[in-house]
Amino acid sequence: MKTSHRLVFGLILAAYALLAVTYSIVTPIFEASDELWHYPMVKTLADSGLRLPIQNPADQQTWRQEGSQPPLYYFMAAILTSGIDTSDMDRVRRINPHADIGIIRPDGNANMIVHPLTGDSERRGTVLAVHIARLLSVALGLGTVLITYLLARELFPDQPYIWLGAAALNAFLPMFLFIAGSVNNDNLSNLLGNWLTLLIVRLLKHRNQPPIRTYMWLGIITGAGLLAKLNIGFLIPIIALSLLILSLRLRSIRPILIGGLISGALTIAIAGWWYLRNYQLYGDPTGLNVFLDIVGRRAIPANAAQLWAERHSFTQAYWGFFGGVNVPLPDAIYVLFNFIGLIGLVGTGAFILYTLIRHRWTLHQWLPPAVTLIWIIVTFVSYLRWTAETPASQGRLIFGALSSLSIWLAVGLTWWLPRITHVPVLTLICATFAIVATAAPFNTIAPAYGLPDTSVLTCESESRTFAEETSIAEPRAVRGLELLCGTLITEQVRPEEYVHLRLDWRVDEPVTRDWSLFVHLVTPDGVIISQRDIYPGTGSLATTDLPADYTWHDTVSVWVPPAAYAPMTLDVVIGWYHLSTGERMTLIGAGDETLRVGTVELLPRASTDNIPNPININFANLAELIGYEISDLTPSAGNSLDVTLYWRRINPIPDDYVVFVHIIDPATLTIYGGSDAQPAAWTIPTSTWGDSAIITDTHTFTVNASTPPGIYELEIGMYIQRDDRFDRLRVVTADGGMANDYAYLSRVRVLPAESETTP
């Protein structure tokens, strides 16, 4: 390697290390992906002398599903931090119970834990242990960048710009840096998965019998990989195939027999015990059954349409999607990176076709690159299989093949250009990644976790100023929080829009519990059609931390559901409650638990169809609900209810589907009344619907007399009975997804049976 190449590569490694450490410092602890659960697994091993916990879905611990993961990373981090007193973890790791994990809201609320007003500046106890574990991750990420460089040299030995470009694309990938600066077992599995790919490539390049140490390294890294993450297991068939190919090429049984025995024995010796333990405890060598019981499965496994609809979160979380998958880069960055990625993908495909057609590589030359391409495909397919089972559409989950991906991205971006432009083009692209990666901690991550504005509060002239009765106190207290000003910013709203309000608060007297602010949108009948529950300061504050006279601004955004019944006037009601007990704070003097801060007009969607409550719910691209009407939003138990649905055909419907309308408790899935019938009381089967006809479909049913008073969802959908199956049509979302096979319309409040209310 020339001195200039060595120098550039050294600079890439140094820049990576500096950036990864920066990410590890700037990102508040427990705000990096699943670190909230990864670190408690480290702690429990450190506290127990590396004794693994037994997972029980009925008794979930602070490490949740991570206790079902292969333990090598956690062992390493536990050994490094075992001498630190982390008894303060519960105090440091204060969960924000309303955090919008995986959801982006205009009012923020991104933080998964509540941090002290002074931040995480104290480097001791749990905070110190987390940062030490993060440094371990940084070192493992450095190893991955090194592997990328070495693998590129093996595949393209005469093209140094590919070596350096691939290493830089890996090193300056914002999401890679973010994960590398966090406590996450992916950092070890990424290193070992890519390292094992390098070993397989080197194995296939042997023209003579490989030495015994080659097989030993294969076994050691495979065993370590299987103790790092389950996805490494998908490389085992590739290893076996590579040993077979080598035996055939050398016309010797030694690689497949001796190599297989040595590498296999070491793999089993290193990792076998953990898989045996899983089988003995859970009846599954992988432990995935318990993992899924804890993390949760999709209610309906994702089909191809749903997976395609989740492509945006996949690509975002490949380039850079921070926090709890709720702190994104600017949209323009994703557009740019997706464009670069698309060129790289098309360019790689063209390179493969061109090389095949022109016979530029012999079969022997093709084998090492083929391994990396196969590994990319296997990794992606296994990811699809996994995310179809449980929601996990994050591109970072394919970083086990990141070295191969970075190399082929570098190739695809440049090979078709004039040779003289290869270096400057790749340098420009890598510099772009480096600039974004450098800016992201300060421009994207840090601002997401800033404290609210605490400047002197003055009520603007258009604000509603609240009087003395707006002081709110805990039960049995005489002072507490005071609402200084309130501004209901939104006057009119439509379904799928937000109601925005600003609330300015002051602490009259410190409170003793952590209270949650709620904002309800309430119909004239008292039905809460939407609500926002949030910790103060858009999730960044805990009320027990706030001293007397502390002031802050709260900006709250409440989303109006797509099927909200309109038009009507909604009351905007606020209050405070204690999550674990349900107790509410009360207005001093008035004794009320809520404060009505104004009204907002809920308008229907614009429509040319002249039907009530316009809506658009697409069922499997066959039929769409374009409106609906309910005879009574507050029916009494035992009384009848009319629900009229307005349908239109999207495409010809070959079968006659049954429409169901249910009053359902979503918490228990108990149905308290409903109708299952073909449209228009069985008179207009779906197979007969015309192109543009609007089908009026009225369902009349009785609310069960035993229905407990309360608020319920009105659920609709379509199904057809085939033998003993009831096959429902899936709802198609605006992005093409098919997640659910039902839709909720308006909420209804069921009142007590009239006989119960008669004096």
Spatial contact of 623 and 718, defined as CB atoms under 8 Å apart:
yes
Q: Please give the pLDDT value at position 457.
A: 61
Query: In whole angstroms, what separates CA 532 from the centre of its chain?
Result: 20
Statement to judge: residues 507 and 420 lie in one domain: no
Residue 51 DSSP SS3: coil
The whole-angstrom separation of Cα 116 and Cα 171 is: 32
Q: Would 533 be classed as within a structural domain?
A: yes
Distance in angstroms (rounded) separating the CA atoms of residues 227 and 270: 8
Q: Looking at residues 584-610, what average pLDDT do you find?
A: 89
**Structural domain ending residue among the three candidates 446, 474, 499:** 446
Domain identity same for 419 and 318: yes
Q: Which residue bears the tokens 């085939």? A: 722
Is the pLDDT confidence value at 460 over 60? no
Q: What is the model's pLDDT at position 589?
A: 76
Last residue of a domain, one of 602, 629, 658: 602
Classify 233 as helix, strand or coil: helix
In tens, the pLDDT along 673-684 reads 999 999 999 999
* pLDDT surpasses 80 at 205: yes
Q: CA 482, CA 470: separation in Å to the nearest integer?
A: 6
Region 723-739 average pLDDT: 89
- Residues 567, 750 contacting (CB under 8 angstroms): no
Among residues 365, 59, 400, which one has the least CA distance to residue 226? 400
Q: Position 26: which residue type?
A: V
Is 334 within 8 Å of 319 (Cβ atoms)?
Answer: yes
Q: Do 159 and 196 share a structural domain?
A: yes
Mean pLDDT over residues 724-731, rounded? 92
Evaluate whether residue 270 is within a structural domain: yes
pLDDT of amino acid 466: 44
Q: What is the mean pLDDT of residues 72-95?
A: 96
Closest C-alpha among 293, 226, 296 to residue 70:
226
Q: Is 101 part of a structural domain of the chain?
A: no
H or E, element range at 126: helix 125-155
Mean pLDDT confidence for 190-198: 98
Q: Do 648 and 596 belong to one domain?
A: no
Residue 107 belongs to some domain of the structure: no
pLDDT band of residue 757 (cuts 50, 70, 90) is low
Query: Is residue 401 located within the same domain as residue 381?
Result: yes
Sheet holding 516-522, edge to edge: 492-493, 595-602, 568-577, 516-522, 528-534
Look up the CATH number of the domain holding residue 666: 2.60.40.770
What's the confidence (pLDDT) of residue 467? 42
**Residue 647 forms beta bridges with which residues?**
625, 695
Whether residues 337 and 268 share a domain: the answer is yes
Query: Of 602, 635, 652, which residue constitutes the final position of a domain?
Result: 602
Position 463 pLDDT exceeds 80: no
92 found inside a domain: no
Can you give the pTM of this predicted structure? 0.93
Helices marked H in 358-486: 363-389, 402-414, 422-440, 446-448
- Let me know whether 430 and 498 are in one domain: no
Q: How far apart, in whole angstroms, are the C-alpha atoms of residue 662 and residue 648?
A: 21
Q: Are 498 and 559 in contact (CB under 8 A)?
A: yes
When the pLDDT of each residue in the chain is averaged and rounded to a whole number, the result is 93
The overall longest dimension of the chain from CA atoms, in Å, is 98
Residue with more model confidence, 475 or 332: 332
425/518 same-domain check: no
Host domain of residue 668: 614-757
- pLDDT value at residue 158: 94
> Same domain for 556 and 692?
no
Same domain? For 671 and 618 the reply is yes
Q: Across the beta sheet with 731-732, what order do the strands follow? A: 694-702, 640-649, 623-630, 614-619, 731-732
Q: Do 504 and 453 touch, CB atoms closer than 8 A? A: no
pLDDT value, residue 591: 76
* Same-domain check for residues 620 and 598: no
Position 626 in a domain: yes
Looking at the fold, whether 280 and 408 belong to one and the same domain comes out as yes
Under DSSP, is residue 48 helix (H, G, I), strand (E, B) or coil? Answer: coil
Query: Distance (Å, rounded) from C-alpha 689 to C-alpha 495?
Result: 28
In a domain, 441, yes or no: yes
Q: How many domains does the chain have?
A: 3
Does residue 190 fall inside a structural domain? yes
